[in-house]
Structure 1
Amino acid sequence: MTRYVLWGASWLFILVVLVTPPVMVLSEALRDGIGASVATLADPDAQAAIWLTLKVTLITVAVNTLFGILAAWLLARFRFFGRQALLALLELPLSMSPVVSGLVWLLLFGAQGWFGPALERMNIHIAFAVPGIVLATLFVTLPYVVRTVLPVMELQGRDAEEAAFLAGARFWQVLWYVALPGVRGALLSGVLLTTARALGEFGAVSVVSGHIPGETETMPLHIENLYNGYQSVAAFTMAALLGVLAMAAVLLRAAPAWFARWREKTI
């Protein structure tokens, strides 16, 4: 009896908390018909927001994937002074409010910040420009690849890598052909988590972007702008598109496990 109660309570909680919001967003987006919803995406500001979000996400995922692999390999293979402090710092973005991180970038690169005036004289714009959005997104998504790859690398051990080094392989050859094949599932998971987080980042980007329509307005910021302007169909349409992109990343993350179970059943 207890098992069925817990099963029912779990499904009820999932339906209320996880399923209902996207269903409501989709229903609001289609309130005036699919044609009206699609038409809102033809707006130049909407298209600029979509392309900026995709560009920032691509840059963020590429940089944090490379950094995450190298940092995970360093932490898994070596014991050094400050290692625990480095691990703690890597998790800082998970505990710090994104708004605080956005304020830090403004303190550094804003017009009245530490480096802002010098950068302005060189015609380099970071705050209220795309570089600031990229920096803010890099910060909030930094831990995901490291924290998913690191435990698997530690379990994998270093014997095969040491044998490859003794055989004369270079560092990048060992990393690509020996270390990474064993952590592909964890790496894919970290990359997709980073993607989903980068697509939906609002707090840090809101502070550092300046909310300039068509220039520094990402999809989450554009949704807020549309909703505050009482353009609810357009806002929910953009929200639905953003939700579809994020859910696609989550589904791709689960795809390897589904494929493995399917292969077990067919063999």
Structure 2
Amino acid sequence: MPRWLLIAATYTIVGIMLILPPVLVVAEALRNGFGTALTTLADPDALSAIRLTVTMTLASVVINTVFGVLAAWLIAKYRFPLRGVLTALIEMPVSVSPVVAGLVWLLLFGTQGWWGQALDRIGVHIAFAPPGILLATLFVTFPFVARTLLPLMEQQGRDDEDAAMLLGASFWQILWQVTLPNVRWALLSGVLLTTARAMGEFGAVSVVSGHIPGLTETMPLHIETLYNGYQSVAAFSMATLLAAMAMATVGLRSFFEARARNAVIHGQDA
């Protein structure tokens, strides 16, 4: 196949699959003018969905970043029993459907779930409430920081950490002054990937949230509610905002991923 034909086919597929959809979304959002689109985003339910999405994203990113760093460090720097099992378990959310995860949380914390009624009696609500949304988001974003850090940490080995330990550095000193500076670009890449995934999660959150407008609807869920209610301009306006947030996050991640790749090639932080 001639090179020009391969290039043309590639750009055509990319244009149809990746460029055309967001262009159409923006066009639909602005169909009645920019002012109308902004007005729909100022609706109380829309603002609630934006706040909930940002809150759940920030919480899940912080929690999974802390866990991901510690898990990647443990797996990359040490050898211990069932190490491969732990790695497989961390990666499990990638292959399990988010809907299944949502159903599991309902089974545990729903009104008719194993612990739901006992928790309700003491005033703790997880299913159909923000804590359930957080659990669902944590599950689907669980592996990304750890999976991003692992290859780089394994490539770097543990010589620097061992040297710091011989010099009397504590666990936290080694983590903050030796390990993290060496993987900072990969860490930022993993954090941004987690952020993008958390903002756009629909399946698990849809199952466990109850779709309560103004209370448990994140931005993806609110888009579905608006579209099913034939409020297409409002739906596409919210979709445009969500897409812009996701694309900005992915753009930053691409930059940090390139820096992380450069660090792996040169065997040191770039």
Letter matched to residue 84 of structure 1: G
Matching residue of 2:208: 208
State the Cα distance separating 1:252 from its structure 2 match.
Answer: 0.9
Q: Is the 8 A contact 2:188 2:256 kept in 1?
A: no
CA spacing shift, 1:172–1:4, aligned 2, 3 Å: same
For residues 174 and 59 of structure 1, the distance between their equivalents in structure 2, rounded to whole angstroms, comes to 25
State the Cα distance separating 1:29 from its structure 2 match.
Answer: 0.2
State the Cα deviation string for residues 43-90 of structure 1 (Å, max 9, x = none): 000000000000000000000000000000000011111111111111
Letter matched to residue 230 of structure 1: Y
State the Cα deviation string for residues 194-246 of structure 1 (Å, max 9, x = none): 00000000000000001111010000000000000000000000000000000
Matching residue of 2:30: 30
Matching residue of 1:68: 68
Q: Give matches, 1:107-256, under 5 Å.
A: 107-256=107-256
State the Cα deviation string for residues 152-186 of structure 1 (Å, max 9, x = none): 00111111100101111111110111011111111
State the Cα distance separating 1:8 from its structure 2 match.
Answer: 1.4
SS of the aligned residue for 2:253 comes to: helix
State the Cα deviation string for residues 92-138 of structure 1 (Å, max 9, x = none): 11111100000000000011111111101110000000000000000
Alignment gaps of 5+ in structure 2 = 261-270
Q: Is the 8 A contact 2:144 2:190 kept in 1?
A: yes
Letter matched to residue 24 of structure 2: M
State the Cα distance separating 1:3 from its structure 2 match.
Answer: 2.1
State the Cα distance separating 1:257 from its structure 2 match.
Answer: 6.7
Matching residue of 1:97: 97
Q: How many residues align?
A: 260
CA spacing shift, 1:181–1:216, aligned 2, 3 Å: same
Q: Is the 8 A contact 2:189 2:257 kept in 1?
A: no
For residues 257 and 2 of structure 2, the distance between their equivalents in structure 1, rounded to whole angstroms, comes to 29
Alignment gaps of 5+ in structure 1 = 261-267
State the Cα distance separating 1:258 from its structure 2 match.
Answer: 7.4
**Percent of residue pairs identical:** 65
SS of the aligned residue for 1:215 comes to: coil
Matching residue of 2:5: 5
For residues 45 and 169 of structure 1, the distance between their equivalents in structure 2, rounded to whole angstroms, comes to 51
Q: How high is the TM-score relative to the length of structure 1? A: 0.95
SS of the aligned residue for 1:91 comes to: helix
Matching residue of 2:49: 49
For residues 6 and 79 of structure 2, the distance between their equivalents in structure 1, rounded to whole angstroms, comes to 44
Q: How high is the TM-score relative to the length of structure 2? A: 0.94
For residues 145 and 107 of structure 1, the distance between their equivalents in structure 2, rounded to whole angstroms, comes to 27
Matching residue of 1:81: 81
For residues 258 and 118 of structure 1, the distance between their equivalents in structure 2, rounded to whole angstroms, comes to 49
